[in-house]
């Protein structure tokens, strides 16, 4: 029978069968090394039921009200104060001198596990980097098509250097050299490295998008009395955006995945959170599958949003 005459349900069944086979293949490999699956620890690292420990943010003297419902800190040798009212059990007493990081009290309830904390750091790092990468890529992309030789050569040099060197090396340079000289925090250095790297690729996407717009569009805009900036802003760039949106979406997804490399710095992103968990419970399969699924959730959501935007722009 010709494959074109087979019902669609048959091919969906083939798809499901392949996924099931892959699942059994992974299970079979784990059995060959006698791996004991245990997902309970992973769940605890997503949402922990162990409550939260309240630690002292600085060296201080402790004061607790007679009813035991209010704990106050007065900085040792300074003017800082801190007050806690939501806790279930205090481990310090009035008059105690505590040091930064010392345990003060315990609060029952649910709290975000280290994987969710790492996920939040990845989200924040990617979002901030994306904003700066877009701005940097747009400027460099416009420079690549500019008539000004200085702007064109500077943009070309930036793009070629960044695209020609590994991101991990750039992160090391940004964190250990530039970050040390300028006294940048690990988060700032990570954002800068990711923005500079991604901006170079966005610059090429912007350049190709602008060059794909017929030259007659610019000439028509100029004939209507627009200057170069107005024509580029109102005529050329909107058309280029529609043409390059799929490529930009791919670059945004790459940015989220590339953010895993900042785990070499003092930042607990999703990848570093996974490594820390493995170092304590020695369960690499469960942890890395969970981390991969969380990255897939991020990138899949972004892909869905971009597809919605593409459809909306197509109808405009």
Task: For residues 72 and 172, state if they share a domain.
Answer: no
What per-residue confidence (pLDDT) applies to 316? Answer: 62
Question: Which residues are CB-neighbours of 229 under 8 A, at least 6 positions away?
Answer: none
Average pLDDT in the 191-209 region?
94
d(CA 203, CA 127): 18
Long-range contacts of 7-15 (CB under 8 A, 24+ apart): none
Whether 46 is in a domain gets the answer no
What per-residue confidence (pLDDT) applies to 3? Answer: 54
Task: For residues 101 and 135, state if they share a domain.
Answer: no
Pairwise pLDDT comparison (40 vs 212), residue with the higher score? 212
> Domains in the chain: how many in total?
3
What per-residue confidence (pLDDT) applies to 2? Answer: 53
Q: Give the pLDDT band (50/70/90) at residue 309.
A: confident
Q: pLDDT (tens digit, 9 = 90+) per residue, 262-272? A: 888 878 889 99
CATH number at residue 203: 1.10.3720.10
Predicted TM-score of the model (pTM): 0.78
Decide: 106 and 92 in contact? Cβ < 8 Å: no
Average pLDDT in the 177-198 region?
93
The structure tokens listed for 178 are 């530039």
Q: Which domain holds residue 23?
A: 3-32
Q: pLDDT (tens digit, 9 = 90+) per residue, 127-148? A: 999 999 999 999 999 999 888 8
Task: For residues 82 and 168, state if they share a domain.
Answer: no
Task: For residues 271 and 125, state if they share a domain.
Answer: yes
Task: For residues 170 and 79, state if they share a domain.
Answer: no
Whether 304 is in a domain gets the answer yes
Please spell the DSSP secondary structure of 92-104, one letter per residue. Answer: --TT-EE-TT-EE
Q: Give the pLDDT band (50/70/90) at residue 28.
A: confident
Whether 40 is in a domain gets the answer no
What per-residue confidence (pLDDT) applies to 32? Answer: 86
Which alpha helices (DSSP H) does the chain contain, by range? 8-32, 40-46, 114-144, 149-163, 167-172, 179-182, 186-212, 215-223, 228-231, 237-258, 270-281, 284-315
Q: Name the residue among 266, 290, 289 with its Cα closest to residue 116.
A: 290
């Amino acid at each position: 029978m010709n494959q074109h005459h087979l019902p669609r349900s048959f091919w969906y069944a083939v798809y499901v069968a392949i996924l099931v086979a892959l699942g059994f293949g992974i299970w079979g490999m784990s059995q060959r090394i006698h791996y004991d699956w245990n997902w309970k620890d992973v769940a605890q690292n997503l949402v922990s039921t162990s409550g939260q420990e309240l630690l002292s943010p600085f060296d201080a003297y402790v004061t607790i009200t007679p009813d035991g419902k209010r704990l106050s800190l007065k900085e040792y040798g300074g003017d800082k104060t801190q007050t806690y009212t939501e806790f279930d059990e205090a481990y310090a007493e009035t008059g105690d001198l505590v040091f930064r990081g010392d345990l003060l009290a315990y609060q029952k309830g649910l709290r975000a596990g280290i994987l969710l904390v790492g996920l939040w750091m990845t989200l924040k790092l990617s979002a901030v980097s994306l904003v700066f990468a877009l701005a940097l890529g747009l400027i460099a992309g416009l420079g690549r098509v500019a008539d000004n030789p200085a702007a064109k050569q500077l943009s070309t040099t930036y793009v070629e250097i960044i695209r020609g060197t590994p991101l991990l090396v750039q992160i090391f340079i940004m964190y250990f050299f530039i970050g040390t000289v300028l006294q940048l925090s690990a988060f700032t250095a990570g954002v800068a490295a990711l923005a500079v790297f991604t901006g170079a690729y966005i610059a090429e996407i912007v350049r190709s998008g602008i060059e794909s717009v017929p030259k007659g569009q610019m000439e028509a805009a100029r004939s209507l009395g627009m200057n170069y900036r107005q024509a580029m802003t109102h005529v050329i760039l909107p058309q280029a955006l529609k043409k390059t949106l799929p490529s930009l979406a791919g670059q945004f997804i790459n940015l989220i995945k590339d953010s895993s490399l900042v785990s070499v710095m003092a930042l607990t992103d999703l990848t570093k959170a996974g490594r820390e968990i493995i170092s304590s419970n020695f369960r690499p399969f469960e942890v890395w599958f969970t981390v991969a699924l969380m990255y897939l959730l991020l990138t899949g959501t972004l892909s869905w949003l971009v597809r919605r935007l593409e459809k909306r722009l197509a109808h405009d």
